[in-house]
């Protein structure tokens, strides 16, 4: 089974259990913490992905880092360890957040631009995305000068890349292929 589908299944099972226990939002907060910590720590990513590091070491490290987490979150970590799938913890966290936002009828559109969005442009993007999804949408703007211009819009598993860097890479591929 591909890792993306497995991550969705773990996230869905965790969300279903969290909803049943009235802890979906507390677990979402934990998942946001997990995603952020793993993103910021290359060493933690390496430890989680390493087949050499024993599961017990991974478990102790994760439970120490996330000791204030909900019991459901700790149960997810244990399940992933037991099933030798702990390397996908960050992906499961991302999927959980997406699923819980959809359950609440909200979505977050992540817009990456080379310069900060103006309030006028943010309203236009918000209107277009809300119309397309039919859900309540909030926008989070991330600045990345490497895209040169344009924007990259990501909602859930869907990404629309209208950046100048992407267009330049496309031209480069065309020229390379035509030689």
Question: Is the same domain home to 94 and 23?
Answer: yes
Pair 17, 54 in one domain = yes
Q: Which domain holds residue 20?
A: 3-102
What is the per-residue pLDDT across 55-95, written as a single tens digit (0 to 9) for each?
889 888 898 999 899 999 999 999 999 999 999 999 999 89
Which pair of tokens denotes residue 88?
């996908």
**pTM higher than the cut 0.85:** no
Same domain? For 79 and 114 the reply is no
Parallel, antiparallel, or unpaired: how do β-strands 136-143 and 106-113 relate? parallel
User: Number of structural domains, the chain?
Assistant: 2
For residues 6 and 9, give the distance between their C-alpha atoms in angstroms, rounded to a whole number: 5
Mode of pairing for the β-strands spanning 150-155 and 158-163: antiparallel
What's the CA gap between 73 and 65, in Å, rounded? 12
88 and 156 belong to one structural domain: no
- Model pLDDT, residue 71: 94
Answer yes or no: do 38 and 94 share one domain.
yes
Which of residues 102, 132, 154 is at a domain's end?
102
């Amino acid at each position: 089974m591909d890792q993306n589908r497995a991550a969705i299944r773990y996230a869905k099972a965790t969300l279903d259990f969290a909803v049943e226990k009235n802890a979906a939002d507390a677990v979402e907060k934990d998942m946001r913490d997990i995603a952020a910590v793993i993103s910021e720590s290359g060493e933690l990513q390496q430890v989680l992905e390493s087949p050499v590091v024993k599961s017990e070491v991974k478990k102790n490290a994760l439970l120490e880092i996330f000791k204030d987490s909900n019991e459901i979150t700790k149960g997810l970590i244990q399940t992933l360890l037991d099933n030798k799938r702990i390397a996908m913890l960050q992906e499961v966290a991302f999927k959980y957040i997406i699923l819980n936002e959809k359950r609440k009828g909200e979505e977050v559109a992540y817009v990456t631009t080379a310069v900060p969005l103006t309030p006028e442009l943010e309203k236009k993007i918000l209107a277009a995305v809300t119309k397309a999804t039919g859900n309540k949408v909030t926008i989070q703007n991330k600045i990345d000068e490497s895209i040169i211009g344009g924007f990259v819009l990501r909602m859930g598993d869907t990404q629309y890349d209208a950046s100048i860097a992407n267009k330049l890479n496309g031209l480069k591929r065309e020229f390379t292929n035509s030689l």
